[in-house]
Each structure stands twice: as C-alpha cells, then as structure tokens.
Amino acid sequence: MAVHLSFLLLLTGLTGIHSITTVSKVSVKAGGSISTPCFYESQYINNVKYLCKGYHWTSCSYAVKTNKPSSGKFSISDDKIQRIFTVTMKNLNEQDTGYYWCAVEINNGGDDGKYFHLSVTGGTPSLSVDHQDITGLIGHNITINCHHLYPGVVKWCRLGGSCVTEPSGSIYGTEVTIDRKVHNVFTVTMSGLRTESSGWYWCVQGDLQMPVHLTVSEKPPTDQAPTTVDSEEQSDQVDLKSVIIPLSLLILALMVTFFVWFMLKRHKTTKGESSATTAAEEEVTYSDVKYVRQSSSKRSDAAMKSDVDVVYSSVVTQ
C-alpha cells in the first residue's frame, strides 16, 4: 500500500472521520472464535471488502477478502442490504493477538478502513457472551448475559445506531433494560421485539465490546408459548421433545405387547388344566358276579347249611 494511503487512514483514525464502523477492542479465549461486523456507507456497496492485520498500514497484510471469502482461519461475508460485512476468525491462539482493519478497496483512490484490537487470552476473556448468534420471536423478549471481569459503565449498543446505559432505554422502538444482580454479569433484556430489531448489537464495558447478532423471526402459528432463549438452548429443547415422544410410544407398545402375551399364556394354561381334568374323569363300570355253591348228594345237610352264597365285585375302568 502506498505511503499516502497510510497517512490518509492514520488521519481518519485520529480524527474519527471514517465511513466504516466496527468495534474498537474485543477479547477472546484461546481456541475460540469471534465474528466481527463492519458497517459501511452506501457508496461502498459494490466495493471489495477485506480484513487486514497490522498496526501500521505500511506493514498491514491481507487476511481475507470478499472476492476470496475464505482463507485459513479467516472468512468474510457481505450483506449489501444491511451494508455490513462480517469477518470471522476461528481457532484463535495468543499469536493472533493484535490490530486488525475492516477496510474497503477504493478504485482510483486510497482505501478506507477502521481498526480494532483483538486480545486472545488463555484465561477468562475480559468481556464475553454465551453465544454470538441468538434468535427471538416478534412481540416477545430476548435476554443476553454479558460476562465481564472489571468494573465500569456498561452499555448495550446497536451497530450504526444508539446505545442504552443502565437501567433502561430503547433502541428503534424496542425497550431495553439492563440489570447487574449477578456478580460480574450484566443482563440485557429486549422487550417487544420487531422485525426491525434484527441486526448486530454489542455489549460494552469500558473500552471493550462483544458483538451479538440477533435474528427476529415470525411468531409460530400455534399458541405455544415462545422460548426467548438463545438458539443452542432452543435446539436442546427440540431435541428433548424428539426423544421423549418416541420413547413414550415405545413404552406404550411394550405394555400392550406384554398384556397380549400374558393373556395368551393365561388362556393356554387354563386350557391345559381343563384337558387334564377331563382326562382324569374316566368312565367306571361296576359288575357283580354271584356264585352259588351247588348241593351234592354226598355232602351232609350240616355242611350244606354252612355254605353261603359268595358274591364277587370288580371295577373295570374304561
């Protein structure tokens, strides 16, 4: 880059006259990632945007450009409707700490840009949020927890717009409240969300910022109470429902199967006992055999008188 370009950008940085707006200082934990939005004026809609790393423009090196949107750990996207290009840096380490520039290429002129400082730490970041991407429903509320290490004035700001300081205020018709009931956390609640509430915001504490992107979607067609939590928590709830319903159906099917099996087994047992009882009730035939001793002329009358009739009985099982 030319020397006059370096002088021009240094001048705009010192005087605050620039056509690009972005954060001034962000902090990230090593191994993590961060997305940083850069707002630009309408005259730059069709220009090439890029991220450049270096304290001075003369030593600044390209990290990624919109005409080549991915390069290693860096990626870039351009929303020409909102006039915001977003740079994302992943798998950061402490060597990535330094100054970066959100910049636009100017044909037949000096490039325009605005720098920010990125601090990558092995410990807890100075300012952080649970998730950078959150989703809310029209007419409902959304809550964001901003975690910070140091005391100081806190704010909730919209990129390219106004800011709200505690305890309350409004941004583009959306009510904003800030409370600090939890130690080292200030909670931002946006009430009565509208479609226009979608966009980039950031937590501010001192000279630190942490960007957060809010997407406001249509209200569900049912009367189901909306969930005004971040997208990851919503995904967990949906996953939980998808597990509980099939599990309930499986338990019901097992109960029905067990009941049918029990009834069949009981019927078979009853039938077997009935067959055994029937077999045991066999037919019995009784018969009598009567034997009458015959008289003999050679026997005495006394002997004949002592003889008695003999009756034999037998039981025949058929």
The pLDDT score that the predictor gives to residue 261 is 80
The pLDDT score that the predictor gives to residue 11 is 38
The pLDDT score that the predictor gives to residue 246 is 79
Mean pLDDT of the chain: 79
Q: Which CATH number fits domain 3-121: 3.30.360.10, 3.30.230.10, 1.10.1660.10, 2.60.40.10?
A: 2.60.40.10
Determine phi and psi for 24, rounding to 5 degrees: -110, -30
Q: Could you give the residue ranges of the DSSP H alpha helices within the chain? A: 3-15, 231-280, 301-306
- The stretch 43-67 carries a mean pLDDT of 89
CATH architecture, domain defined by 127-229: Sandwich (2.60)
The pLDDT score that the predictor gives to residue 131 is 93
- What does the alpha-carbon distance between residue 254 and residue 172 come to, in Å, rounded to a whole number? 56
pLDDT confidence bin for 48, thresholds 50/70/90: very high
The pLDDT > 90 percentage for the chain reads 51
Dump pLDDT digits (tens) for 125-172.
999 999 999 999 999 999 999 999 988 899 999 998 889 998 999 998
Read off the pTM: 0.62
Dump pLDDT digits (tens) for 282-316.
444 544 545 444 544 444 454 444 454 545 555 45
Contacting residues for 156 by C-beta, under 8 A, at least 6 apart = 144, 146, 163, 164, 171, 176, 178, 188, 201, 202, 203, 204
Q: Write the burial class of residue 292 (CB in 10 Å: 0-12 exposed, 13-18 middle, 19+ buried).
A: exposed
The pLDDT > 70 percentage for the chain reads 71
Dump pLDDT digits (tens) for 157-216.
999 888 999 899 999 889 999 999 999 999 999 999 999 999 999 999 989 999 999 999
Contacting residues for 268 by C-beta, under 8 A, at least 6 apart = none
CB 205 within 8 A of CB 127: yes
pLDDT at residue 269 tops 80: no
pLDDT confidence bin for 109, thresholds 50/70/90: confident
Higher pLDDT, 13 or 133: 133
Burial 38-63 (b: 16+ CB within 10 A, else e): bbbeeebeebbbbbbbbeebeebeeb
Q: Provide CATH 2.60.40.10 ranges for the chain.
A: 3-121, 127-229
- The stretch 28-56 carries a mean pLDDT of 94
pLDDT confidence bin for 272, thresholds 50/70/90: low
- The stretch 76-82 carries a mean pLDDT of 94
pLDDT at residue 14 tops 70: no
pLDDT at residue 96 tops 60: yes
- The stretch 239-266 carries a mean pLDDT of 79
The pLDDT score that the predictor gives to residue 270 is 66
